[in-house]
Amino acid sequence: MAVARKWISSLLLGLPEPLRSLRTLPVLGNLAHRLSRRFLPVNEKVWARVERDPGEGLWLELNPRTGQHYMHGDVEPAVQKILAERLKPGMVFYDLGANIGFFSLLAARHPLILCEMHSDANDKFLRELFGRFGYNLESVDDLHVLAVPQLVAT
pLDDT tens string 99-128: 888 888 888 877 766 666 666 666 777 777
CATH of the domain at 147: 3.40.50.150
Q: Which helix (H) or strand (E) holds 14?
A: helix 2-14
Q: Does one domain contain both 114 and 154?
A: yes
| pLDDT greater at residue 40 or residue 20 | 40
Q: Is 57 left (phi over 0), alpha (psi -120 to 50) or beta?
A: left
Structural contact between residues 79 and 63, judged by C-beta atoms closer than 8 angstroms: no
Sheet holding 113-118, edge to edge: 92-96, 113-118, 143-147
Which comes out higher in pLDDT, residue 54 or 17?
Answer: 54
Check whether 92 has a pLDDT greater than 50: yes
Q: What are phi and psi of 59, to 5 degrees?
A: -100, 130
Higher confidence at residue 17 or residue 82? 82
pTM of the complete model: 0.71
Q: How far, in Å, CA of 30 to CA of 8, rounded? A: 18
Same domain, 113 and 134: yes
Query: Do 114 and 104 meet the contact criterion of CB atoms below 8 Å apart?
Result: yes
In a domain, 44, yes or no: yes
Domain boundary among 75, 95, 123: 75
Q: How confident is the model at residue 139, as a pLDDT?
A: 61
Domain that holds residue 54: 1-75
Backbone dihedral angles phi then psi of residue 115, each to the nearest 5 degrees: -125, 135
Q: Write down the pLDDT at residue 146.
A: 59
What is the rounded distance in angstroms from the CA atom of residue 53 to the CA atom of residue 147? 28
97/48 same-domain check: no
Domain assignment of residue 9, yes or no: yes
Q: Are 60 and 67 in contact (CB under 8 A)?
A: yes
**CA-to-CA distance for 63 and 61, rounded, in angstroms?**
7
- Report yes or no on 115 lying in a domain: yes
**Given a cut of 50, is residue 152 above it in pLDDT?**
no
